[in-house]
Chains A and B, each alone.
Chain A
Amino acid sequence: MYHKDTIAAIATPVGEGGIGIVRVSGVGAGGIASRIFRARGSGGLESHRFYYGEIVDPGSGLVLDEAMVVVMLAPRSYTREDVLEIQCHGGYLVVRKVLELVLSQGARLADPGEFTKRAFLNGRIDLLQAEAVIELIRSKTETALSLAQHQREGFLSNRINAVRDGIFKSLALIEAYIDFPEDDILLPDNDEIKSSVRGSFERIEELLEGFREGRVIREGVSVLIAGKPNVGKSSLLNTLLREKRAIVTSVPGTTRDIIEEVVNIKGLPVTLLDTAGIRETEDEVEQEGMRLTLEKIPLADIVLVVVDGSKPFDDEDRLIMDAVSGCTVILVLNKSDLQRVVQLPDDLSDLKVVSISARDGEGIDELREAIFSMFVREGIIEGRDYTVLTQVRHRDALAKAKVHIASFLDGFGRGVGLEFSALDLRDALGALGEITGETTPDSILDEIFSRFCIGK
């Protein structure tokens, strides 16, 4: 086979849809399937057969979604490699989570058109079809071109260049010091380099944060309401929904016993999920509801844990807190119209706490503000451009650059050799190059020769 690595991507268009497909191709596809898919009532996965079951994160054991899965072993597949296709519930968040899980299992994100490219390179498509592939790849570059034109007015190139500059200049200083030991070039000023690279690091974080916020603003977030029975979860949902203008749409729950409603909070589309209460019980129907709730918890962007403020914090409340550990949590103390009795344990003192009365609407605005500010730092600022960084590919490139810069700042701070620090900066430039175009060794030398008087 032509390739050693395994690639993955979302095969269906981004956005709301009935079904989302994650496609995986390469030698690792079968292994990934066996690790993350739990088929209902059958043994191993036979090639070219559909199986129904669940996508499970092998790390946490948590169920991400129910899904239909098919494995197509090489060479009888689109790419002539082992291919895994996961059909899960549509909707960006679920599909994205499944993709992230697949990537965490050793696959890498496919380049645009890469499945088709592999299909060709592995001899799956004939010459005639190859023409079509060339068209496809060419259309990619045209897309890139129109994007580039679009960005002329936008900020991305400028922003990335600002990031690149700090790294590039620092690299030139370091390279000059390495390559010209006899040209009385002084040891570069560490603080200057550090602050310049740190500046690049912060700019990247800013861009990534903008990406996250932009995504949240465009695609919304999910907020799950959890709590033991009869603490007022449903009345909280109703209170949040009561302002009729806020209701954007009402989507039937994808799962029977969980109610999903979409509301608009300060312009942010928020999917509210009301769940069955969680407690110790022998009742089978109630157990099934709780199981569904527990499965949904890790999929939510935020969990509102509702506690009855008029009663002591008890073991059942504790059970819920344990179930949501690792999630972003807002603790909602309901029934503020009654005498406050609850005493929160010390280990919960770091949590964001909001007191409300679901019955008369007190504290609801504060809760809405709390939800909003969890996702958007300073509020949706008028005129602020959340579309600077929108492409996942760009985000991935920046995230890669960020890792290398972090490694640089760590190593440089500890005083590892400058040639190692230089490698980090080069790799960071390489990652940025996926967005802006490559930085060649020649351009680094140009910078050195323009800054330093070299020559023995």
Chain B
Amino acid sequence: MVIYDKQYDIIVVGAGHAGCEAALAGARMGCATLLLSINLDAIALMSCNPAIGGLAKGHLVREIDALGGEMGKNIDETGIQFRTLNTRKGPAVRASRAQADKQLYRLRMKRVLENQENLSMKQGEVTALYVEEGVVLGVDTRVGVRFMGKTVILTTGTFLRGLIHVGLTSYAGGRAGDLPADSLSASLIAQGFDVGRLKTGTPARLDGRTIDFSKLEIQHGDDPPVPFSFSTGKIVRQQLPCHIAYTNQRTHDIIRANLDRSPLYGGLIEGVGPRYCPSIEDKVVRFPDKERHQTFLEPEGLDTVEIYPSGLSTSLPIDVQYAMYRSIEGLESVEVMRPAYAIEYDYVDPIQIRSSLETKLVRNLFHAGQINGTSGYEEAAAQGILAGINAALRTKGRDPLILGRGEAYIGVLIDDLVTLGTREPYRMFTSRAEFRLLLREDNADLRLREKGYEVGLVGEEEYARFREKRNMIAEEMNRIRGKRLIPSETERSFLEEFGLADLHNGISYEQLLRRNEFTYHELMRIDGQSACLPAEVREQVEIQVKYQGYIKRQLDQIERSSKLENSRIPEDFDYVTLAGLSSEVREKLLRFRPGTLGQASRIQGVTPAAVSILAIAIRAGRAR
């Protein structure tokens, strides 16, 4: 084994969406960082659908951006269709989604990494961790080089013992066209990690020249497109539409007739797949009464004819794929360019990591992304940036950055992983966030910019702009509280339009904005000053005023839970001799080793009484 002559602060294994954010965060915080990838041409590759965002995922992207991450900026520069989802619902559940030009996305991210100070990139497959006395010291690669690092972040994606299935044919691979990482799992198992198996899948890529788009419904993006990043001014790239097609009874018949050739139904696949992203055969079997299933045909880029048919992932044999796709109206003579496939891969039970994403078993080793059982680029990137930040903080001897469930979806994501574990690939939903009304896309900067600045990821210029916005919001809140609409000084028709004709004493602008049908749009008709404000300031003020009651209710809920959340449980806490716990609860606590009383209370099977006993014992320990 050759020991490389340079010592790194942080070694990131894997250059997907988690690895890129981790490496950038580490390097930007001043750490000597090495990014290792099996294939340097596949950096930030979108292995599945060419899109970023969606419900709860868009929220994550905004949070990553507020912390000083790259994902939002990257999609803003390479996106070819932007849409805001749920525009008819309230601000908390509105979310951004964008189609990416897959190649541009990857190339831009690579360029950013290459231009990043403190960051080196090398191609290599990591085969083992180098651990001594429970502390990771480096990694070994296939070609016999040992890289030494103070911290290591594993972001292995689907590469750990990756196994690709197309029908009853299977072969080893980390992704179609890439080698797997076959040795690293054994190294993890040797360290005591519980390694499990998950499964995911992706549809075929279709040749757009062989699709009759005239038969399909067209779907355009928003005009003007709204960017993800708080730092992006305007989206300038050319935009493309998507198309919508539907399966039919014939499609379903073809699938049903060939289920015996499916590796999933034939028992060849042992890994657990996601219920929210089922293959088309799964949908047909589980929902036999549904007459058709919708698919969005998403362009993979500006300079390619490849089309991604969302919702049509499958592991059926290739001949069935041909017949199945061609049974869809508009796709009668479609050519498959890349076959659909399912992939199985290893993950490590996330209850073996802490809220900082450091593993409990090996010091200075961090896990992020699919290795923790999650799915999705955004979920991966969110963990990546936190792992990068916390590895960097570790090298500086500082406490980790841990986000609360009331602060960020990232906090919800990590807390869910460490307290609940996961049996299927974990995806974020807004319904997972009990403080959903506070965790909005629009206020991600107000929630997290400050933290990004404190750790050193948000630059001075961006921070100054943020502070200005925050001040303007505060000033405007004050102004509309003080400023009043005086009936005698207001046009009669305006008063009548809003049912204010009987008003005698005047009404503050704040009270006006609280009314159902009254927005800044209406206020600007009588108040010149509000028109001078930037749109995002008006938006914030309007939301904070209109939803004040609900926002306050959620803040109160956070306040009530904060006592449990802030009570740390010592790492070496002795559950074995603690009187009063049932054996089931004791076993759970020993297995999960929660970091706080709040986390303990969320572990399934841990009763409120058990939490009380813990609280008392912890106080007692502290008193001693």
Contacts and interface: CB of A to CB of B under 8 A. Distances in A.
Contacts of A419: 89-90, 92-93, 430, 436-437
Contact of A134 (B310, B434, B550, B616): B616
Interface in B470-492: none
A305 B276 CA distance: 67
A426 B553 CA distance: 13
Q: Which range contains the number of B residues in contact with the other chain?
A: 35 or more
A131 interface: yes
A182 B547 CA distance: 26
B504 interface: no
Interface residues of A, number: 43
Interface in B265-316: 275-278, 283, 286-287, 290, 293-294, 296, 310-311
Contacts of B93: 178-179, 417-419
A134 B618 CA distance: 12
B90 A456 contact: no
Contact of A455 (B278, B436, B619, B624): B278
A241 interface: no
Most-contacted residue by chain B among A130, A422, A441 (CB, 10 A) = A441
A127 B620 contact: yes
B580 A135 contact: yes
Given A454-B275, A454-B276, A456-B277, A423 B609 contact: no
B171 interface: no
B579 A455 contact: no
Interface in A170-225: 175, 178-184
Q: Is the interface of A mostly helix, strand, loop or mixed?
A: helix
B54 interface: yes
B420 A442 contact: yes
Interface in B540-555: 547, 550, 553-554
Contacts of A448: 431
B558 interface: no
Contacts of B437: 419-420, 423
Interface string A112-141: 010001001101000100110111011011
A137 B613 contact: yes
Interface string A150-176: 000000000000000000000000010
Nearest to A178: B93
A441 B432 contact: yes
Contact of B54 (A137, A182, A442): A182
B86 interface: yes
B616 A130 contact: yes
Given A134-B613, A441-B432, A449-B275, A423 B580 contact: no
B609 A138 contact: yes
A347 B570 CA distance: 69
A175 B604 CA distance: 22
Contacts of A184: 294
A453 interface: yes
A178 B277 contact: no
A172 B575 CA distance: 37
B607 interface: yes
Interface in B76-131: 85-86, 89-90, 92-93
A364 to B, nearest CB: 52
Nearest to B55: A179
A454 B286 CA distance: 11
A419 B440 CA distance: 12
Contact of B89 (A135, A417, A423): A417
Interface in B37-78: 49, 54-56
A182 B431 CA distance: 16
A445 interface: yes
Contact of B276 (A127, A133, A455): A455
Nearest to B615: A121
A159 B615 CA distance: 33
B386 to A, nearest CB: 21
B255 to A, nearest CB: 14
Contact of B619 (A113, A120, A131, A420): A120
B623 interface: yes
B293 A453 contact: yes
A419 B617 CA distance: 39
Nearest to B294: A184
Contacts of A183: 294
Contacts of A178: 55, 86, 89, 93, 430-431
Contacts of A137: 580, 609, 612-613, 616
Given A453-B293, A456-B296, A134 B579 contact: yes
Contacts of B294: 183-184
Interface string B219-235: 00000000000000000
Given A121-B619, A134-B579, A137-B613, A181 B290 contact: no
A453 B612 CA distance: 41
A455 B277 contact: yes
Nearest to B431: A175
Contact of A453 (B283, B429, B430, B436): B283
Contacts of B623: 123, 127
Contacts of B92: 417, 419
A117 B369 CA distance: 41
A343 interface: no
Contacts of B436: 419, 422-423
Contact of B431 (A123, A130, A445, A455): A445
Interface in B593-620: 604, 607, 609, 612-613, 615-617, 619-620
The 6 closest A-B CB pairs, nearest first, are A417-B90, A141-B609, A175-B431, A453-B287, A456-B310, A449-B275
Given A417-B90, A444-B431, 5 more contacts: A175-B429, A419-B89, A423-B550, A453-B286, A455-B277
30 contacts: A117-B612, A117-B616, A133-B616, A134-B616, A137-B580, A137-B613, A138-B609, A141-B609, A178-B89, A178-B430, A178-B431, A179-B55, A179-B56, A181-B86, A184-B294, A417-B90, A417-B93, A418-B90, A418-B93, A419-B89, A419-B90, A419-B93, A419-B437, A423-B553, A445-B432, A453-B278, A454-B275, A455-B276, A455-B278, A456-B277
Interface of A: 3, 113, 117, 120-121, 123, 127, 130-131, 133-135, 137-138, 140-141, 144, 175, 178-184, 417-420, 422-423, 426, 440-442, 444-445, 448-449, 453-456
